[in-house]
């Protein structure tokens, strides 16, 4: 299997490279080598490498900044995936594209199915939703994997932010009225590899953690794990704050639990994020 990986320096990109099955070849390109928003460059690289599958781990992920940079976000999150889908179609490659729980408005009260109505609250979610649609319109055989609350030993994420803050402060206020499922990027990488191995049919798949929490509960667990592992000397005092008390440029869904039933039916396990958290807490 020849894989072309885009966004190779991000959390997911790094985790995919760490887990590539034996015998698979990979061309792993960061944004400096392949800008997915550049159609001519995408075409040239895909035609030259002729991959069996393209995995798009590249995205404009600055959710708040996207509100003031909608064109830049759309270029990477909508035009980029479309460029990849068209190029994949030309060489007969599969495409696995990654999307987000932020395509939903968070008004749901039960885990979102792949067929649930979308209604993004901000620019990031809107550009990602447009990207999903562009991919599936150009290449219905593509798999679009929506995930949420991604963390890993790499890049920036909530786990690292919490540990870094706790090194500087004794007390922290954490949002307690947004619920979702943390997802370890390494588990997501394995799930994507599995989708290629089982030759999953085209369409949308939800993939996330096997247990839901609020950001407050997640932070609480991060600190317990960090103290137990000797990563932090002591746990900071936590207080619950509401979304209203912690305004951000982009609105976020209050409830973004994704149902993993469809992908589980293919034999793919959801992210055991508790175990992953214990493993990665000492790796950064």
Ligand X SMILES: NC(=O)c1ccc[n+]([C@@H]2O[C@H](COP(=O)([O-])OP(=O)(O)OC[C@H]3O[C@@H](n4cnc5c(N)ncnc54)[C@H](OP(=O)(O)O)[C@@H]3O)[C@@H](O)[C@H]2O)c1
Distance between CA atoms of residues 282 and 284, nearest Å: 6
Task: State the nearest-atom distance from the C-beta of 109 to ligand X, in Å.
Answer: 20
Q: Is 127 in the site for ligand X (CB under 6 A)?
A: no
Task: State the nearest-atom distance from the C-beta of 81 to ligand X, in Å.
Answer: 9
Which is nearer to ligand X, 203 or 227 (by Cβ)? 203
Which is nearer to ligand X, 70 or 227 (by Cβ)? 70
Can you say whether residue 116 is alpha, beta or left, with left for phi > 0 and alpha for psi between -120 and 50 degrees?
beta
Query: Catalytic residue positions?
Result: 124
Distance between CA atoms of residues 181 and 230, nearest Å: 25
At 204 the three-state DSSP class reads strand
Q: Is 150 in the site for ligand X (CB under 6 A)?
A: yes
Window of 10-18, 108-116, 189-197, 209-217 that interacts with ligand X by CB under 6 A = 10-18
Q: Is 36 in the site for ligand X (CB under 6 A)?
A: yes
Report which residue's Cβ sits closest to ligand X: 10
Q: Is 5 in the site for ligand X (CB under 6 A)?
A: no
DSSP string over 72-125: HHHIIIIIHHHHHHHHHHHHT-EEEEEEEGGGS-S--SSPBPTTSPP--SSHHH
**Exactly one of 42, 46, 58, 238 binds ligand X (CB under 6 A); which one?**
58
**Exactly one of 7, 180, 209, 260 binds ligand X (CB under 6 A); which one?**
7
Which is nearer to ligand X, 48 or 171 (by Cβ)? 48
**Exactly one of 10, 122, 236, 260 binds ligand X (CB under 6 A); which one?**
10
Task: State the nearest-atom distance from the C-beta of 33 to ligand X, in Å.
Answer: 9
Which helix (H) or strand (E) covers residue 246, if one does?
A: none
Distance between CA atoms of residues 171 and 164, nearest Å: 13
Which positions from 69 to 98 touch ligand X by CB under 6 A, shown as an x/- string? -------x---x-----------------x
Q: Is 61 in the site for ligand X (CB under 6 A)?
A: yes
Helices 185-197 and 273-280: angle between axes, nearest 10 degrees: 120
Residues 6 or more apart in contact with residue 210 via CB below 8 angstroms: 181, 260, 269, 270, 271, 272, 273
Which is nearer to ligand X, 161 or 239 (by Cβ)? 161
Which positions from 206 to 245 touch ligand X by CB under 6 A, shown as an x/- string? ----------------------------------------
Q: Is 118 in the site for ligand X (CB under 6 A)?
A: no
**Count of other CB atoms within 10 angstroms of residue 157:** 19
Nearest 10 degrees: Cα torsion 184, 127, 131, 178: 30
Q: Is 106 in the site for ligand X (CB under 6 A)?
A: no
DSSP string over 121-182: SSHHHHHHHHHHHHHHHH-TT-EEEEE-SEE-SSSS-HHHHHHHHHHH-SEEEEE-S-EE--
**Exactly one of 60, 112, 216, 223 binds ligand X (CB under 6 A); which one?**
60
* Residue ranges in contact with ligand X by CB under 6 A: 6-7, 9-13, 30-31, 34-37, 57-61, 76, 80, 98, 100-101, 128, 147-150, 155, 185
């Amino acid at each position: 299997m020849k894989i072309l990986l885009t966004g190779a320096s991000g959390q997911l990109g790094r985790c995919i490279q760490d887990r590539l099955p034996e015998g698979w070849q990979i061309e792993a390109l960061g944004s400096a080598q392949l800008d997915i928003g550049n159609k001519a460059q995408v075409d040239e690289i895909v035609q030259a490498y002729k991959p069996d599958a393209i995995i798009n781990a590249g995205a404009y992920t600055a959710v708040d900044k996207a509100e003031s940079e909608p064109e830049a976000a759309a270029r990477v999150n909508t035009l980029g995936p479309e460029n990849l889908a068209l190029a994949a179609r030309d060489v007969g490659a599969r495409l696995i594209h990654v999307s987000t729980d932020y395509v939903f408005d968070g008004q749901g009260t039960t885990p979102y199915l792949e067929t649930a109505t979308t209604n993004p609250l901000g620019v990031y979610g809107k550009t990602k939703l447009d990207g999903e649609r562009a991919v599936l319109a150009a290449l219905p055989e593509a798999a679009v994997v929506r995930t949420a609350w991604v963390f890993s030993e790499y890049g920036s994420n909530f786990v690292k932010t919490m540990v870094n803050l706790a090194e500087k402060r004794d007390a922290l206020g954490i949002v307690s009225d947004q619920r979702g499922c943390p997802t370890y990027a390494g588990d997501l990488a394995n799930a994507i590899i599995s989708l290629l191995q089982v030759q999953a049919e085209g369409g949308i798949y939800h993939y996330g953690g096997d247990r839901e929490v609020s950001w407050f509960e997640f932070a609480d667990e991060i600190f317990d794990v960090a103290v137990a592992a000797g990563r932090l000397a002591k746990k900071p005092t936590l207080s619950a704050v509401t979304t209203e008390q912690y305004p951000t440029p982009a609105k976020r869904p209050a409830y973004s639990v994704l149902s993993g039933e469809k992908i589980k039916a293919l034999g793919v396990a959801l992210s055991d994020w508790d175990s992953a958290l214990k493993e990665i807490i000492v790796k950064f």
